[in-house]
Amino acid sequence: MKKLQETHFHIIGSGAVGSFTTVTLAKMGAENITIYDFDKVENHNRSNQYFGINDLGMYKVDAVARKILVEEEIIVTPISKKYIRQTFPKDVVNVIISAVDSMPARISIWKGIKKQWNKVELYIDSRMAGKFYELYSVRYPSDFKFYEDSLVDPKDALQEKCTERAILYTILPIAGRILRNVANYINGERVEQYITENIQNLEILNKK
């Protein structure tokens, strides 16, 4: 538990996957969390993200931070700006979780993280397309090539309709899998480098 409390978690994106991941991470006992997102809560977000009527019009990061403060008495740092190659704090353990929905954003995030990898212990990148998801975790420099090979040209990335991406029951398993890898890391257990699952059939298609 001490390691979980001392680790600085940075969650990029507070939409569907990001909002549920952040709230659950706080419920697990994490106390040092920074979240990044420049979007505001709209009515259609209520069906698939951790927001309600009282959050409408707020920045998503502010709404998530408020919920966690009320429910868990934990202060989360919200940054309501576009994430641009943040400089991570020194002398603390940093875990980065990407919950963005575009390949250009992933490529930009990774370039910044790679330049200061000496400050990062774990990087997790979640991807969703319809009823399938992929999860990549980078723990060591030996993982770099496998992950970088997945960063395809944006024009070749799979694009799904927003309604396909936004089904709630496809989001919760992804958040759960992210947090399972976080728990494994905290407990000194094996972190899965890659996993993809058909959520409709609850069938793991590939893992590494």
Write out pLDDT tens, residues 66-89: 999 999 999 999 999 888 877 787
The whole-angstrom separation of Cα 181 and Cα 177 is 6
Average predicted confidence (pLDDT) for the chain: 88
Residue ranges of the domains in the chain?
2-207
Report pLDDT for 153.
67
Mean pLDDT of the 115-136 span: 90
User: Does 161 have pLDDT greater than 50?
Assistant: no
Report pLDDT for 162.
43
The residues, any chain, with a CB within 8 Å of residue 113's CB and separated by 6 or more, are 96, 120, 123
User: Does 46 have pLDDT greater than 80?
Assistant: yes
Topology adopted by domain 2-207: Rossmann fold (3.40.50)
Mean pLDDT of the 22-27 span: 96
pLDDT band at 200, cuts 50/70/90? low
Task: Tell me the whole-structure pTM to 2 decimals.
Answer: 0.90
Mean pLDDT of the 42-57 span: 94
Q: For residue 165, which amino acid is it?
A: R
State how beta strands 8-12 and 94-98 pair.
parallel
